[in-house]
Amino acid sequence: MDNIYLIIVGVLFALAISDLIVGVSNDAVNFLNSALGAKVGSFKVIMLVAALGVLVGSVFTDGMMEVARKGIFHPEYFYFSEVMTIFLAVMITDIILLDTFNSLGLPTSTTVSVVFELLGSAVAVSILKLSSGEQLITLENGSQKVATLIDYINTEKAMTIIGGILLSVVIAFTVGAIVQWFTRLLFTFNYERKLKYFGAIWGGLAITIITYFIVIKGAHHASFMSKETKHFIVDSWYYIILVSFVVWTILLQVLTLVFKRFNILQLIAMVGTFALALAFAGNDLVNFIGVPLAGFQGYNIFHTAQILDPSVSPDTFLMTALAGKTKTDMYLLVIAGLIMVATLYLSRKAKNVVKTSLDLSRQSEGDERFGSSLFARNLVRGALKTGETINMFLPSRLRNYIDRGFDQTQFKAKQAQDPEPPAFDMLRASVNLVVASALISFATSLKLPLSTTYVTFMVAMGTSLADRAWGRESAVYRITGVLSVIGGWFFTAFSAFTVAFIIANIISWGGTWAIGALIILALFLIYKSHAVYNKNNSKKESNELSVSEIKDENILEKCTNNVHDTLFSVSDIYKHLVSGIELEDRKKLKIVKNEVKVLNHQAKTLKDNVYKVLKQLRRESISESHHYTQVLDYLRETAHAFTYMVQPAFEYFENNHTPLIDVQINELKRVSASVDDFNKFVLSVIDNSNFSQMDQVLSKQEELLKLIETYRKTQMKRLKHEEVGAKNSMLYLGILHETKNLLLHIVNLTKAQRDFVENANN
């Protein structure tokens, strides 16, 4: 029987490897956001610094291992089989949830995930224990009492963690905003000149805070350090800060005087990236391997007891020994660190999660990932009114002084000259890292459970708000995005608890077969998630690459290709639409709907990125810019026309309405064939740039419009004579109307392409 549990331990470690990969993809945003956002170095250099931090941090560990074993539930009241059920449910749940959030590109807390998964699975097993009639537990003093759910669960620890989550969100955002506001007011966006005078002091203070963060968060919790050394670090923290500040300030001043190109802010960002990567590995590493290691330790305890007494049973052996202190083997931490480094370099999802944070904190405007919400709109209106009220009471000199500090004119001019500008400048990157390091260090010294994900993300949001990155053009979208991420964090806690609770029940009732089925299900869900993500990401990267490659010398070629691809899709989509209607094929109509969705997305991507393209063109290309924008407008309208045809058709048959009659199908087939002929002719005109045939294009369009008008009148007669119903007529007339719009947009698109070509050739 114990062989089953040995297999479970093996499964736990296999899941731990997968969890490490998924977890790094999620938490990479913690330490990469600032360095990548400010482009403090090449991608390879930033990743190398982060990798070194992860490797060094992997040999450090803190109290999270205790959380995995005894922080959320009391193992001394659980049998070996029950503890293994709890741990297995946690690992299966953790992988599924983290992978889902990573696929969506939303950063979430691995600490919160593992804590609430432990809570959910422990509650499930505890309820089963109580329902089975087991009610007496033995206390430390040897006495017995009737057990309740609270006796099994460490509710005090759970509530402390929840309180830490709420505090970390509010405090990190507020402190980040305040520090960034005063820092920007002091240094302004043109900070190069002031850095010559105050740079060494600022750098000394910043790196001192980061150094203290490394010492307190890293070395203080190193499992290989002696107690005397740890006590010295704790007792001498003020000496560490004082000496560090003096040494760093003098060193930075010397480096600034000796090397003219020495960049203090770049050094701060690199040191801060290393520090946060170290903290991530030292703190969050055990989120991924803590549960499997606890399971392995539990198995060793049970196996040893069984050797001494073969009658020991998994269902009767209490895990009292698991409540004691243990030390993690160093080689396991190093192996885990290497896996994390490899994932850091290879994971696409890690870059996706980082992108979400950068999109919400970037200084410039652009394509916003999130939409607007009622709360965000009202909040922005309230903030604008509040700002206007405050300005009324501020002296004009003070207002002018503040406005000069936040003047972005020169900064935006530099951004405009850079084809791929950084999301924000190095000054804000240094504030992000310093504030995050300070808050995490302070919380650690007070033994408060703060999430590194929550702190780093909310500090970045606070600094971006203070830096006036959330202007009137983007504020509602940024606020909605932040609220979506925060909502996702709390949804993580709820989901982790609920899913772990369900899985623990399934394992308890289903046994070995349930374990096998759940593992297969988890692997399938992860595979499907990766397949969908890779497919969507490939399309996204292809669109982004297409936009980034548009330059002066190839704008006409790229534009012509986009027009060709859109028109080439028109005939196929129309044919498939009519075919789906004729056959009443919902699946085919759903495929057509997805094709139209892709067409719309491509047109929207081109339209949303028109500003980026126009910035890359020469100033004398104003006329080209106008015609290029016109072409994109008509591409978008062409795609829209299909949306208003396909969506109603899909919903019509989805609701099982009466099919179209034969004469209607035949009419649509004739329209489809005519649209196909018309479209092919337009394609030949555009591909060959033979716009002398424009009169023929208009003539063919006129013929088609007359045909559509004839069928429209015929349909009105059928409706009047009650040959068809109202819903039938709405669908049919809607398709004819949107076909008419489609033809008008195609002709306008052809004219815009003609003007673009003629202007480019002159």
- Which among 87, 119, 120 has a CA at the least distance from the CA of 19? 87
Give ranges for CATH 1.20.58.220 in the chain: 549-761
Q: Given a cut of 80, is residue 119 above it in pLDDT? A: yes
Q: What is the pLDDT of residue 55?
A: 79
What is the rounded average pLDDT of the residues 569-586?
86
Q: What does the pLDDT look like over 298-308, one tens digit per residue?
A: 888 888 888 88
Q: What is the pLDDT of residue 501?
A: 92
Q: Given a cut of 60, is residue 2 above it in pLDDT? A: no
Q: What is the pLDDT of residue 542?
A: 47
Element (H, E) at 138: strand 136-138
pTM > 0.75: no
How far, CA to CA in Å, does 542 sit from each of 156, 196, 419, 539?
A: 50, 44, 18, 5
Q: What does the pLDDT look like over 75-105, one tens digit per residue?
A: 877 888 888 888 888 888 887 887 777 666 6
Q: Given a cut of 70, is residue 358 above it in pLDDT? A: no
Domain 549-761 carries which CATH code? 1.20.58.220
Q: How far apart are CA 717 and CA 729, in angstroms?
A: 11
What is the rounded average pLDDT of the residues 710-716?
90
Q: What is the pLDDT of residue 544?
A: 45
Q: What is the pLDDT of residue 416?
A: 66
Percent of the chain with pLDDT over 70: 76
Q: Given a cut of 70, is residue 610 above it in pLDDT? A: no
Percent of the chain with pLDDT over 90: 2
pLDDT band at 547 (very low <50, low <70, confident <90, very high): very low
Q: What is the pLDDT of residue 710?
A: 92
β partners of residue 145: 137
β partners of residue 201: none
pLDDT band at 237 (very low <50, low <70, confident <90, very high): confident
Q: What is the pLDDT of residue 18?
A: 72
What is the rounded average pLDDT of the residues 503-529?
80
* Structural contact between residues 64 and 287, judged by C-beta atoms closer than 8 angstroms: yes
Q: What does the pLDDT look like over 265-321, one tens digit per residue?
A: 888 888 888 887 777 776 666 667 777 888 888 888 888 888 888 888 888 888 777
Q: What does the pLDDT look like over 161-173, one tens digit per residue?
A: 677 767 778 888 8
Q: How far apart are CA 603 and CA 588, in angstroms?
A: 23
Q: Given a cut of 80, is residue 186 above it in pLDDT? A: yes
- Alpha carbon dihedral 390, 396, 402, 403, in 10-degree steps, equals 100
User: Residue 71 has what DSSP assignment?
Assistant: I
* Side-chain half-sphere CA neighbours of 432 within 13 A: 40
pLDDT band at 550 (very low <50, low <70, confident <90, very high): very low
Q: What is the pLDDT of residue 543?
A: 47
- To the nearest whole number, what is the mean pLDDT of the chain? 77
β partners of residue 144: 138
Q: How far apart are CA 585 and CA 248, in angstroms?
A: 72
Q: Given a cut of 50, is residue 545 above it in pLDDT? A: no
Q: Given a cut of 50, is residue 706 above it in pLDDT? A: yes
How far, CA to CA in Å, does 752 sit from each of 192, 529, 615, 681?
A: 46, 41, 21, 16
State the sign of the Cα–Cα–Cα–Cα dihedral 710, 715, 718, 720.
negative
Q: Given a cut of 70, is residue 438 above it in pLDDT? A: yes
